[in-house]
Amino acid sequence: MKLIVTGGLGFIGSHYINEVIQDKSKKIYSFDFENYASNQDQLKKFKKFKNFFHKKINICNFNSLRKNFDIIKPDIVINFAAETHVDNSILFSKRFVDSNIIGTFNLLECSRLFLKKKKNHKFKYIQISTDEVYGDLKINDKKKFSENSNFLPSSPYSASKASSDLLVKAWYRTYKLPTIITHSGNNFGPFQNQEKLIPKTIINILKGKKIPIYGKGNQIRNWIFVKDNVSAIQQIISKGVIGQSYNIGGKNELSNIDLVKCICLLVSDINKKNSKKYLGLIKLVKDRAGHDVKYSLNNNKIKKLGWIEKKNFKQGLLETINWYMDKFNDF
């Protein structure tokens, strides 16, 4: 089986490859533009496997993609490639339109043209998306977003992901391209780029730097350990229904301020130091424009495929903290 994995050196994409690379029946073709968020350490590890192949490709380059589709003749395409940082989307929105919308269009068209030339009944296109496409909830709202919830994105990032999801839905309905979409909560774990909240908090603690939190920090997020997200994606590829979408959410919903305080307490336990030292690093800053208040996902549909969230939130957080402490142990 041949898999094209776009964004193969990114956070979730590299964790996915790490899980499937041991299966020698799979040939994995990683496409990655190799920008600031790409993990070169993961690439070095993957290159040791004979069933792994990497190409430096920008998914915005249609001709390059088309050529490689014709050469590889993939059975599955999994699109992890995306610009994902909301702050950056506010400052550099065109990057997000190019990568997330034009890039997805190119992948869909390459898939369609490839199947038109060479029939492959095993073929699947998997679009990796986000819960942010649904918009947000009020702080005390008990509602959870389901796969049938309307899209109401708030940021340029979430708007670009919602747009790409709509393209995927259109290519399924119009061209009968066999597609599936995933919408996951906030992923965390080792190897995540330092711009994200959890790694930034850990690293700032280790450096003794202030930990900036937007507004009052009462924004609530749904957190899922990245390996649990990967196992859900594997289950969807294996058992998911073509043309459907699946929410992938964890059991863990907490505010940003409570999350940061939890990390401070866990690091103080590990270092045997007074937690007040780390809690004193927290600094509330001006809120982000259009900041979503609360995300909450109903994941009953993915559970019906047999998926189970395995990693306890505290265990996942400890594993993540220890990984960053080992990597940044010079501080």
CA 244 to chain centre: 19
List the structure tokens of 295: 């995300």
Q: How confident is the model at residue 17 (pLDDT cuts 50, 70, 90)?
A: very high
Give the total residue count for the chain.
Answer: 331
Mean of pLDDT values over 272-297: 96
Query: Would the pLDDT of 329 be above 80?
Result: no
Looking at domain 2-188+224-250+296-310, its CATH superfamily turns out to be NAD(P)-binding Rossmann-like Domain (3.40.50.720)
Q: What is the pLDDT of residues 73-93, one digit of tens each?
A: 999 999 999 999 999 999 999
Query: Would the pLDDT of 311 be above 70?
Result: yes
Instruction: Report the range of poorest mean pLDDT among 207-216, 298-307, 322-331.
Output: 322-331
pLDDT at 186: 97
Contact 57, 65 (CB under 8 A): yes
Q: How confident is the model at residue 122 (pLDDT cuts 50, 70, 90)?
A: very high
Mean of pLDDT values over 116-123: 89
The pTM of this model reads 0.96
Query: Would the pLDDT of 251 be above 60?
Result: yes
Active-site residue list: 131-132, 157
Query: Would the pLDDT of 26 be above 80?
Result: yes
pLDDT at 32: 97
Average pLDDT of the residues of the chain: 96
Mean of pLDDT values over 268-296: 96
Q: What is the number of other CB atoms lying within 10 angstroms of the CB of residue 150?
A: 9
Query: Would the pLDDT of 121 be above 90?
Result: no
CA 298 to chain centre: 18
List the structure tokens of 147: 């796969």
List the structure tokens of 214: 């937007």
Q: In terms of Cα–Cα distance, which of 183, 201, 179 is closest to 192? A: 201
Q: What is the pLDDT of residues 125-177, one digit of tens each?
A: 999 999 999 999 999 999 999 999 999 999 999 999 999 999 999 999 999 99
Q: What is the pLDDT of residues 182-228, one digit of tens each?
A: 999 999 999 999 999 999 999 999 999 999 999 999 999 999 999 99
Q: What is the number of other CB atoms lying within 10 angstroms of the CB of residue 22?
A: 9
Cβ neighbourhood burial of 208 (10 Å; 0-12, 13-18, 19+): exposed
pLDDT at 330: 56
CA 10 to chain centre: 8
Query: Would the pLDDT of 331 be above 70?
Result: no
